[in-house]
Copies of this chain bind each other. A is one copy, B any other.
Amino acid sequence: MHVKKIRVVEDALDANNTIARANRTDFDRAGVTVVNFMSSPGAGKTTLLERALERLDHEIRLGVLEGDVQGSLDADRLAHHHAPVVQINTDPGFGGECHLDANMVRSALPSLPLDEIDLLIVENVGNLVCPAEFRIGEDARVMASAVTEGEDKPLKYPLMFRACDFVLVNKIDLLPHLDFDMDAFLANLEAVHPGVPYALVSARTGEGLDAWFDWLRDVAVRDREAA
């Protein structure tokens, strides 16, 4: 029974990787750089996305794929920006699938005007475990970790923090009101993912967000030069 279970899991991840590679090929062909954006529920991904859409509007042609268990609240929040926004609901999956997988993203491709997008940001389901397991065809991965969640999170969810190319430490405007030990958080981050770049930001006040915009610019340019 145990062996069977592991076999099913391996098959599922193999199938996912195959579809992720097909997505990547399609994105590359269309000249679209893809960022997989992950975090806990409520860490501020959508607000960080809004700030990016406002700031990079005239520089990079952005697109957004919104992954949610149910509803289109986040897509609605972003709808007034110029960028095309497509919603994926994971609800028909495993009683509310807890992550996006390559096939869900693939099923959204026909709804995305890929030839009008340079940089596609995929907002994953809020979850610090499973999204890190499933490649979707992305070029880079970024996560937001809110200081309100506590400094132990890298140690408790190491796979997620290890899977990322960049970490946004968000909600720093609340630091004066929290018992959050930033040095301990950064030491924990360094312990699970040595050398990973990070930025201390507040999506609410705008503090530190230039590092987020610079990272997005950099990813988009790097991918174009590699192509």
Chain A residues close to B by CB (< 8 Å): 8-9, 40-42, 68-71, 73, 94-98, 125-130, 132-133, 146, 148-150, 152-153, 155-159, 171, 173-174, 177-179, 204
Q: Give the Cβ gap from A50 to chain B, nearest Cβ, in Å.
A: 13
Task: A96-B157, A126-B157 are known; give 9 further A-B pairs, CB within 8 A.
Answer: A73-B152, A73-B155, A73-B156, A95-B132, A95-B133, A96-B159, A98-B130, A126-B128, A148-B171
CB < 8 Å neighbour of A68 from B9, B127, B156: B156
Task: Kindly report how many copies of this chain are found in the complex they form together.
Answer: 2
Query: Could you say which residues of chain B place their CB within 8 Å of the CB of A98?
Result: 98, 127, 129-130
**Is A94 within 8 A of B40, CB to CB?**
no
**Known contacts A125-B129, A148-B171; is-contact A71 B9 (Cβ 8 Å):** no
**Is B69 within 8 A of A157, CB to CB?**
yes
